[in-house]
Chains A and B, each alone.
Chain A
Amino acid sequence: MWAQILDILAATLRLATPLLLAAMGGLLSERAGVINLALEGKMLVGAFAAAVITLATGSPWLGFAGGGLAGVLLAGIYGVAVLPLKANQIVAATGINMLAAGIPPFVAKILYDVTGSTPSIELAHRFAVFPMFLAMAAPFALWWVLARTRAGLRLSFAGEHPEALAAAGINVIRVRWAALLTAGAFAGLGGASLSIFLSSAYSRNMSSGRGFMALAALILGKWRPLPTLLACLFFGLADAGQIRLQSLEIGGTYKVPVQFIQILPYVLTIVVLAGFVGRSRAPKALGEPI
């Protein structure tokens, strides 16, 4: 009994890791006033880059850093589109997600002559726990930055009252750039934790909606770091339960179709968005260009 509970608890923490890192990225950029529906794409590219670099160097540390960097690069493209060019943030983010879906097959074909999964990574070259600790520490660090530092205050003002920030002589665009690029790093690291921590290779479209679930967790957590941590753990728990339910048999003979269980996280996301979003409040200037 206790062993089972511990097992589920450990799985919850592990599965919440990519979600949590991505959600913290989303939190940074949305608190600064930039909608981040491109988390999904950044995760996917982060997962791919991490797998490729780990395969090439044998070092998960370099791979992890590479995943983060890939997220930053993609965030850079998104930033150019939405900050100086003032593209519609939702449409541009969708473009980024589509681009991210196209990059891994393109590069994998050149590197490995396949368009699907990368070759698998040796166990010794994968992370055992590190990304999990980083993900658990991140919300506390972000809470401290947002609540206690000048940079955090500026970030919140960029999302709530950009005019006031500008009047105080601060370059709002620059604050938003900083938030957006850091967000890219977080999302990229979240993706990296998918390929070199949770599994043993990059596989096609492996982020499978987690970038959007991270956003749902962010909304459920009302754009605050610690409640968002709880929301991510909730999603992680559901995911851990989902994997265990797949071998469930009711009454000894009837097996619940595996597809029904696989869709549970997505149904849960919708339920969360439908039930709680009404009471949570987005940053005031979210989505408005300067």
Chain B
Amino acid sequence: MAALAPKIHEVPDDLLAAIDYCYDQGWTDGLPVVPPVVDRVKAMLAADGRPPETVISHHPATGLDLSLHAAAANAVMAGCLPDYFPVVVAAFEAMDRPEFNFHGSTASTGGSAPLLVVSGPIAEEIGMNADVNLFGPGNRANGTIGRATRLILRNVFQMLPGISDKSTQGNPGKYSFCIAERARGNPWPLLCQAQGYAAGASSVTVFAGGGFCNVENHGGNTPEQVLGSVADAMANYGCITLGQSVVILAPEHMAIVAAAGWTRERTQDFLFSQAKRSVEGMKGIGKYREREYDAQHGEGAPRLVEKGFMHRGMTPEDILVTMGGGDAGGHSCFIPSWSRGRGSILQHAEIRKRS
């Protein structure tokens, strides 16, 4: 079926009144938005160059499509500059894959939010923050790209809190959850390189993040000590599932890991083998499910899976690890996933500058 023409709302030439109008229409996340005036939306669209009706994402439960035009309108409202638009587009191209199941991860009581990790040269080109106060406020690109993601979920896919978004508690990342991977001083290949994109390309990785857990360790000075505290956070009884994980190592922690010669793969292996709980313990708190144990320990299970234990995730590759944050402070973080059995597998896409 052909898409309908985008609807135009005529409002008085009064910016504050237009902001109020957007509130009245139910188009906001609770904060004021930039009214999606025609010229700004067209300028945003020019950053992609394809026809505005091009569909970049499809909602599996409602059948609603996301066109470039609707994405651009929401990006304007979020406060994005046109240079940021390719990141928003790539994020939804990644979430469009069935494995991600973005209906479930945005509707479920689990309350996850899509975390966007931008990797590669575009991060610096558009002024993203990969450094101090990584997850905090203060950077326009980080803040508005993440916010555009939320506004699209709300306005295009109708993921309305309390109606179709049934998050029991939600999480603060549902306003905006977007970071850049820190390239400066990073001893490992960047994610975009590890993902196999061509030299000079950038990528965005999307992850249904269920919250944020700070991992403090100022005393540890070996990889085992630092990563041991990360693994313990990953395996806490409230968080442990078969789901994937994102771990952002603080530069201080990364320096300890890298100085000992540990690669990303070795780090993933260590975290996977250590982030576990005994079957008895899982039974003790009522979270043990035999079919999950069987799924983890069945045919093809990685060699690091230990009998009698539930690990976090299915394989070491289920743990995305990279570096981010300011130079000072022994504060890394672990971000749990929303689910495993119902999709929300990490997805990534190349960020293409088409114009």
A pairs with B: no
